[in-house]
Amino acid sequence: MSVRRLPRIIRDPPSNLSSRMSSVAAQPRPHEASSLNLADIQRLSAEDRAAVDTLIRARLSSDVVLINQIAEHIIAAGGKRLRPLLLLLAARALGYDGRDHHQLAAVVEFIHTATLLHDDVVDESDLRRGRDTANALWGNAPSVLVGDFLYSRSFQLMVELERAEVMRILADTTNAIAEGEVLQLLHINNPDTDEAAYLRVIERKTAVLFAAATRLGAVLADADEATCDAMADYGLQLGYAFQIADDVLDYTADAEALGKNLGDDLAEGKATLPLIHALAHSDDATKTELRRIVQNGDTDAMPTVLAAIERCGSIDYARQRAATYADRAEAALSVVPDGDYRNALIGLARYAIDRQF
């Protein structure tokens, strides 16, 4: 895959990145390092998060009523707001004491929210965060168009900061996300999707926005290039860990706690890591059946899928892979001074893989 458009967000494709980071992953996980749990992190960042929420609601305002209704619906659903939180923490961890990180955190949240609106249309989803999706309530066309509004509003916000480096990072990131959407589409109902192809999709769909958020925090703090690169590595590795853990939850979580229908990935024809691993390690008869299930998005066959995943140890394998990426994220924080904000970033790496929803 070409990486020329992402010169300082991702310098290597996943295969090279994994090789480059292998020496880091070989280090023991720094359990002795201090970390904060999610409640502590939320308390630490409460003032910054409140400022971002106020800014989000102010800048969502439009004289087109339908835009306000749909935007308010998805923003009010809450969610983890992990991406803007990463930007806030990264900036503070490196000594930033201004206010522009609030505006950039809002930009990151707008971009993420736009992708959710578009994703739900493409995936024909009807439930997200325990609520009806916007497309289920208002239809596909309004959801897509309001997603476009959020993208354009995010670029208005970033232009106001008048920092070319910030605009370049975010422009490259949104382009990569769009490529990831198309790349995922090419793998729908494709039982030949392997782990490398899966990682290429989640790199662009998820990890690049994490990497952009943490790099932007470093850029705002006027960190040197090596520190900016390390913070982007932290975000990238965390993005991988988060998405793999999320895909495990699609097979293991409590549906009510998760806020979406279990088996949605299978229904949408997406072969995620647990199923990819089971396909690679099953006997021929099971493999043939699993291929048929993926090709048809056959959620009625979920018991067959779960049985194959259990036999092959695929959930444990996927969790171990997520833990490896979380370890790499923690190791990348060696450039960050000790303190509460560094401990918060370590805590988020652990939260990403330990969460239950």
Domains, the chain, with CATH or none: 33-354 (1.10.600.10)
pLDDT value, residue 282 = 97
Please list the pLDDT of the chain residue by residue as tens digits (357 residues): 333 334 344 444 343 443 333 333 334 344 445 789 999 999 999 999 999 999 998 998 888 999 888 888 877 776 779 999 999 999 999 999 999 999 999 999 999 999 988 888 887 777 776 678 888 888 889 889 988 999 999 999 999 999 999 999 999 999 999 999 999 999 999 999 999 999 999 999 999 999 999 999 999 999 999 999 999 999 999 999 999 999 999 898 775 555 556 678 888 889 999 999 999 999 999 999 999 999 998 889 999 999 999 999 999 999 999 999 999 999 999 999 999 999 999 999 999 999 887
Cβ neighbours of 73 (radius 10 Å): 18
Compute, in degrees rounded to 10, the torsion defined by CA atoms 84, 90, 96, 100: -20
Non-local (6+) Cβ contacts of 327 within 8 A are 24, 25, 27, 29
DSSP of 28-70: PP-TTS----HHHHHHHTHHHHHHHHHHHHHHH--SSHHHHHH
4 φ/ψ angles, rounded to the nearest 5 degrees: -65, -30
In 3-state terms the chain splits into helix, strand, coil percentages (rounded to 5) of 75, 0, 25
Cα separation, 236 vs 320, in Å, equals 17
Identity of residue 238? L
Cβ neighbours of 121 (radius 10 Å): 19
